[in-house]
Chain A
Amino acid sequence: MKSQLEFRANSAHLLLTLTDSEFTMKPAPFDYLTPQTLGEAVALLERFDNEGEDAKIIAGGQSLMPMLAMRIARPKVLIDLRRIAGLDYIREEAGVIAIGAMASKRSAEESDLIRNSQPLFHAATSLVGHRQIRNRGSVGGSFAHSDPASEYPAVALVLDMQMKAVGPGGERLIPADEFFVTYMTTSLEASEILTEVRMPVLPAGTGWAIQEFARRNGDLALAGVALSLRIEGGVCRQVRMAAFGVNPTAVRLPAGEAALEGQAPDAAAFARAAAAAAAALEEPMSCIHAPGEYRRHLVKTLAERCLVEAAGRAR
């Protein structure tokens, strides 16, 4: 029998209907496998997929473990990526920054390369949870998890990031706007592993900002905005804005971008662009902390504040 219990979580926003037993807090039984190579891991995924068995990758466990403990996720098999060597690099390759999926968020936060060459990604990383979570949580895990309130998907849209996936058929690059499908769903295939995320070095002179509104320091955002822009010849160019925490996945804010493109970087233009961006949003999600209308207003406020901040950085 299905229960009436509605489990609402700030990060979930979804109403899950749980069975009576899902009050329990300890995981249902699962097998735990630790492949030593990427090839082995992909082969395992493929095998379980063919057999119709629900196998799941575990990286840092920061999102998956609570879901297991509450029996919201009940995979039959867990495949741990942590024994696979060489997936935790952070490096620059010809103007592109590549981060291995298993690099911890903390290592990205402490990386001088990221701090100096991709400050927007760096700032986003510092907003993820608390230090303890950034220590354990992987960079790749946040992309694969595709939480609507996560900072990274929005940054990925602003920066036109690419995700590298490895599957039985080899390797492919997925652009950000095709990667995040909806609430906690990506375009990764069941037997694919995310191995790397790629982003350009931020061109000199680009203005950027990321701001979010969360109830407490470290909480998932109720709403957030990330953006970048250039100021050329006294007007705003290449404006890229995205919001998170408001729709089932991070979204670009094209109405805001269009409203600002070619405008002088002044307070009135920023206010107009922010208002246009917020007004064009699809109906935002609601939860006990923030009804949809409030979230929409937050996007407007944050967008406006971000534009001021980014313009201050642009040269």
Chain B
Amino acid sequence: MAIEIPKLPEHMHSGATRFIGRDVKRVEDPALVSGTVEFIDNLDIPGMLHCAILRSPHPHARVLKVDTSAAEALEGVAAVLTGEDARRWSNPAYTAPEGWGAYCVAVDKVRFVGEPVAAVAAENRYIAEDALELIRVEYELLPPLATPQAAMAPGAPVLFEAHDSNVVQSRVYNWGEVDRLFAEADHVVSNSFRWNRVGANPTETFGCICQWDLAENSLTVHGAYQTPRFWVAARAMALNLPSNKVRIVSHPMGGSFGGKGGPRGTDISALLSRKSEGRPVKYIEDRMEYLIAGFSQSWDRHYEASLAVKADGTVTGFKVRLIDDQGAGTEGWGTISVAKPLAAFTGPYRIEAARYDTVLVATNRAPSGAYRGYGPPPHFLVLESLMDMTARKLAIDPAELRRRNYLRPEQFPYTTPAGNEYDSGNYEAVLDKLLAMADYRGLREEQSRARAAGRLIGIGVASTVEPGVFDWNAYATVGVPGIGVPEGVKLAFDVFGNLTVVVGFTLQGQGQYTVAAQIAADYWGMDFNAVKVTTAATDVTPPHFGPGGSRLGVAIAGAVLGASQKLEDLFCCVVAHVMQTQPDQVELMDGRLRLKQNPAVGMSVAEVAGLMLSRADLLPPGVEPCPEATYVWTAPNRTMPDEEGRCRSYLTAANATHLVMLEIDRETGRTDILKYFIVDDCGTRLNPGNLEGQLQGALAQGVGAALYEEYVYSDDAQPLVTTYVDYLIPTIHEIPMAKKDFVVTPSPFTPLGAKGCGEGAMHTTPAVIHCAVNDALAPLGLEIRETPASPRRLWQLLHQAK
């Protein structure tokens, strides 16, 4: 029987929903607050060694000689790993596009400060660190390339010798008649923007324990992995192991946000285990290693962009030229962040045509990685800033300008010029609710009074679309193949009728186990706390990907519902056989399998499960004694990209509009956020508490990117930000608690109508804050177009104006 997944909670046929959409207490939290969660650093395996990594102090150098003899002689050292070992036993990291990855330990040359040049496994971390001090490395310095401009200059040294330049990819996408629309425009609003490096900073850095089984030639890895199956495949390729001989046991994580990199840490620990007779080797990345050389850095961008605008404020065309500093190769999958904006290139607007001119460049900065939002947040800062510049130029209120350009509800499903299809939305309803909640008119009046008194008060209104539920085809343009991102669950009832939901991913903070439990409990009419959600190693769980690309809430809903329906069909067969009727005469309702004609007659779910496992004699012929089902969900109807990269990629298009009011201190350049409002629409809200957390957390990261955080490099490519003294993550004192409300426009394409919303406010907060900062500066004729709008930058701007 075909599986039909309910499109709305109201369509759940097995009884009224009691948990979906409610603010239930999260199943993850008791263990987290009581400290019983086993994070990787808490785990000790008998015989375990500890790894420390020697890292390059140079951004670009040839490695002439690595002398490890003194380190090897130190008591307590089991093995020292060098580039020679890496060359012998492993392959460079697989990347997309191919050929821009390095070995886990530098072979021949180093390309960024912090790149591993040797590693030690010892009885404890202290000895391992001591041993590092005994390793002598001879370098021949090469010219450092600190910027893409330097890396593209004629005669610049080439970082990866297999290529003849440092340009990883140069590609122009044309969607529609851009040139004509710009020629016909009444106004063209153009500007340049600089988005400086920011990135994920989870509380827990990466960590793993690797054990190479020399007899079986297999690898078992315990560790903090966001997408374990993905890394299994990559590790097998890097370490020359059959993929079925690499097994990852993911541990709960203290956050990730995309920054849980770890390929090098894993490969180094694995090879150290191999070199020390298969003893387990633990590597816990420390904070300096994470900040300098982990996947902590993303989005290093130089933009030039323009809007074509009609006299009435209608925006008809959008052109973006992006030079993206990928850093020393693409092992961190930073290329994806350039491709992802295709999924929502024109944001919430009815823009007819667009051009995206991209140049991805390798430099001697750290390889850039994934970060919440994975590319669109800087893109939307550019688009929303241009919208505000247009509003100022045309003297139209910025909220009104957006309203005039929004897609209208009847236009959905809407195919954007860049090819993706938006599922649904009602942007004007979101804006109306926001403006009413914030008392927009009142705020503008307050602003004029404050301005008259000489204060620099700014108001920003910004609208964005969040591409949700990613598919690989979204990244095909940078060389990632395929369609379909399987997310599987196994539902298993035991002999007492208790239900276990086995998923392929582990805790990371978002609360997806709770969502799985809510849906399963509603389907099976059980108590929500009675559902056990658990994970298992990569080799036994169904195909899965895990969190990423704002997809897991939707995907897990689909998987739980699909598996539930499979199992319900099976239970109906069993009950029909016992009751001597046809399966279609049996239905699941409120936790019982009952006869449609005579609802008083039936069996509880527990009775059916127990019967299946203990009374094989009562089962219909051909039915196995197995009250379990697996279902693997992936987004339907995705398409291969055409020659301009156009395809149906991300399944959902959530949207949000934010409003912020802030004040700049003229003398210090400091920005204080006074008021913050959010209205969002991510379709059906499966768990309001989870959503509130996602929104507020992404808002915090957005405030960081807008005002505080920046990985600074010197002109010779030395990282100047190496600790939290200089990487300034805003704290509870700097982050406003936003006043929030929502609109619900269910997705017609997804399980229960939910949309991906995990990255959420990260798309909007940096944009809206910059819009407000520039609104505050507007009376002075000043404008900031670089992130973060730090006090120093604002002071310099204000100071130069005097």
The proximity string for B residues 312-345 relative to A, scoring 1 for CB distances below 8 Å and 0 otherwise, is: 0000000000000000000000000000000000
- Complex Cα gap A26–B125 (Å): 8
The proximity string for A residues 1-40 relative to B, scoring 1 for CB distances below 8 Å and 0 otherwise, is: 1011111111100000011110111111100000000000
Which residues in A have their C-beta under 8 angstroms from that of B57?
3-5, 18, 20, 23
B residues 117-158 in Cβ contact with A at 8 Å: 125-126, 129-130, 132-133, 136-138
Within 8 Å by CB of B734, from A25, A213, A217, lies A217
Query: Given A217-B733, A217-B734, are A23 and B55 neighbors across the interface (CB < 8 Å)?
Result: yes
Closest to A27 in B: B126
- Complex Cα gap A33–B731 (Å): 37
Within 8 Å by CB of A294, from B286, B720, B730, B796, lies B796
Which residues in A have their C-beta under 8 angstroms from that of B723?
9
Within 8 Å by CB of A29, from B126, B667, B720, lies B126
- Complex Cα gap A70–B725 (Å): 13
Which residues in B have their C-beta under 8 angstroms from that of A20?
54, 57, 137
B456 to chain A, nearest CB (A): 14
A13 to chain B, nearest CB (A): 11
B795 is an interface residue with CB less than 8 A from chain A: yes
Query: Given A216-B728, A301-B668, are A21 and B714 neighbors across the interface (CB < 8 Å)?
Result: no
Residue of B132, B136, B726, B730 contacting most chain A CB atoms (<10 Å): B726
Within 8 Å by CB of A23, from B130, B288, B668, B670, lies B288
* B792 adjacent to A21 (CB under 8 Å): no
Closest to A69 in B: B286
Which residues in A have their C-beta under 8 angstroms from that of B52?
24, 26
Within 8 Å by CB of A216, from B126, B137, B731, lies B731
> A138-146, A178-186, A285-293: which one contacts chain B?
A285-293
- Complex Cα gap A11–B723 (Å): 11
A218 is an interface residue with CB less than 8 A from chain B: yes
Which residues in B have their C-beta under 8 angstroms from that of A9?
723, 725-726
* A298 adjacent to B668 (CB under 8 Å): yes
Which residues in A have their C-beta under 8 angstroms from that of B274?
none
B113 is an interface residue with CB less than 8 A from chain A: yes
Which residues in A have their C-beta under 8 angstroms from that of B138?
1
* A26 adjacent to B129 (CB under 8 Å): yes
The proximity string for A residues 280-315 relative to B, scoring 1 for CB distances below 8 Å and 0 otherwise, is: 000000001111001001100100000000000000
Closest to A12 in B: B725
Which residues in B have their C-beta under 8 angstroms from that of A289?
726, 728, 790-792
B799 is an interface residue with CB less than 8 A from chain A: yes
* B792 adjacent to A5 (CB under 8 Å): no
B724 to chain A, nearest CB (A): 10
* B54 adjacent to A21 (CB under 8 Å): yes
* B114 adjacent to A28 (CB under 8 Å): no
The proximity string for B residues 759-791 relative to A, scoring 1 for CB distances below 8 Å and 0 otherwise, is: 000000000000000000000000000000011
- Complex Cα gap A256–B684 (Å): 63
B708 is an interface residue with CB less than 8 A from chain A: yes
- Complex Cα gap A134–B292 (Å): 29
* A216 adjacent to B734 (CB under 8 Å): yes
Which residues in A have their C-beta under 8 angstroms from that of B165?
none
A139 to chain B, nearest CB (A): 22
Within 8 Å by CB of B667, from A28, A217, A301, lies A301
- Complex Cα gap A294–B138 (Å): 41
User: Which label, helix, strand, loop or mixed, suits the secondary structure of the A interface?
Assistant: loop
User: Which label, helix, strand, loop or mixed, suits the secondary structure of the B interface?
Assistant: loop
B540 to chain A, nearest CB (A): 36
- Complex Cα gap A72–B82 (Å): 26
A215 is an interface residue with CB less than 8 A from chain B: yes
Within 8 Å by CB of B733, from A25, A216, A288, A291, lies A216
A74 to chain B, nearest CB (A): 10
B58 is an interface residue with CB less than 8 A from chain A: yes
Closest to B723 in A: A9
A289 to chain B, nearest CB (A): 6
Which residues in B have their C-beta under 8 angstroms from that of A294?
669, 792, 795-796, 799
Query: Given A289-B792, A294-B796, A301-B668, are A6 and B720 neighbors across the interface (CB < 8 Å)?
Result: yes
- Complex Cα gap A29–B74 (Å): 14
* B708 adjacent to A24 (CB under 8 Å): no
* A217 adjacent to B731 (CB under 8 Å): yes
- Complex Cα gap A23–B292 (Å): 10
Query: Given A288-B712, A294-B795, are A21 and B725 neighbors across the interface (CB < 8 Å)?
Result: no
Within 8 Å by CB of B286, from A21, A25, A27, lies A25
Closest to A24 in B: B129
- Complex Cα gap A74–B530 (Å): 54
Which residues in A have their C-beta under 8 angstroms from that of B577?
none
B181 to chain A, nearest CB (A): 42
Query: Given A20-B54, A289-B790, are A25 and B799 neighbors across the interface (CB < 8 Å)?
Result: no
B468 to chain A, nearest CB (A): 32
- Complex Cα gap A294–B797 (Å): 12
B residues 697-753 in Cβ contact with A at 8 Å: 708, 712, 714, 716, 718, 720-723, 725-726, 728, 730-731, 733-734
- Complex Cα gap A143–B770 (Å): 41
B287 is an interface residue with CB less than 8 A from chain A: yes
B522 is an interface residue with CB less than 8 A from chain A: no
A137 to chain B, nearest CB (A): 16
- Complex Cα gap A216–B132 (Å): 35
Closest to A9 in B: B725
A23 to chain B, nearest CB (A): 5
* A3 adjacent to B288 (CB under 8 Å): no
* A10 adjacent to B708 (CB under 8 Å): no
* B708 adjacent to A21 (CB under 8 Å): no
Which residues in B have their C-beta under 8 angstroms from that of A21?
54, 129, 132-133
Which residues in A have their C-beta under 8 angstroms from that of B471?
none
Which residues in B have their C-beta under 8 angstroms from that of A219?
728
B421 is an interface residue with CB less than 8 A from chain A: no
- Complex Cα gap A291–B734 (Å): 23
Which residues in A have their C-beta under 8 angstroms from that of B791?
213, 215, 289-290
A286 to chain B, nearest CB (A): 10
Which residues in B have their C-beta under 8 angstroms from that of A11?
725
Which residues in A have their C-beta under 8 angstroms from that of B728?
215-216, 219, 289
* A213 adjacent to B54 (CB under 8 Å): no
* B720 adjacent to A8 (CB under 8 Å): yes
- Complex Cα gap A20–B61 (Å): 14
Closest to B288 in A: A25
Which residues in B have their C-beta under 8 angstroms from that of A23?
54-55, 57, 114, 288-289, 292
- Complex Cα gap A289–B709 (Å): 11
Which residues in A have their C-beta under 8 angstroms from that of B113?
5
B122 to chain A, nearest CB (A): 12
Which residues in B have their C-beta under 8 angstroms from that of A4?
57-58, 716, 718
Which residues in A have their C-beta under 8 angstroms from that of B114?
23
* B133 adjacent to A25 (CB under 8 Å): no
A186 to chain B, nearest CB (A): 22
- Complex Cα gap A127–B431 (Å): 41
The proximity string for B residues 420-462 relative to A, scoring 1 for CB distances below 8 Å and 0 otherwise, is: 0000000000000000000000000000000000000000000
* B722 adjacent to A7 (CB under 8 Å): yes
Which residues in A have their C-beta under 8 angstroms from that of B796?
294
* A6 adjacent to B718 (CB under 8 Å): yes
* B714 adjacent to A6 (CB under 8 Å): yes
Residues of A within 8 A of B (CB): 1, 3-11, 18-21, 23-29, 70, 213, 215-220, 288-291, 294, 297-298, 301
Given A213-B670, A216-B731, A288-B721, 12 more pairs with CB closer than 8 A: A19-B133, A20-B54, A24-B52, A25-B287, A25-B288, A26-B126, A28-B130, A217-B733, A289-B790, A289-B791, A290-B792, A301-B667
* 4 nearest A-B residue pairs (beta carbon): A3-B57, A217-B733, A25-B286, A21-B133
Q: What are 23 A-to-B residue pairs whose CB atoms are below 8 Å?
A: A4-B716, A11-B725, A21-B133, A23-B54, A23-B288, A23-B289, A25-B286, A25-B287, A25-B289, A26-B126, A215-B708, A215-B790, A216-B708, A216-B730, A216-B731, A217-B731, A218-B733, A290-B791, A290-B792, A294-B792, A298-B668, A301-B667, A301-B668
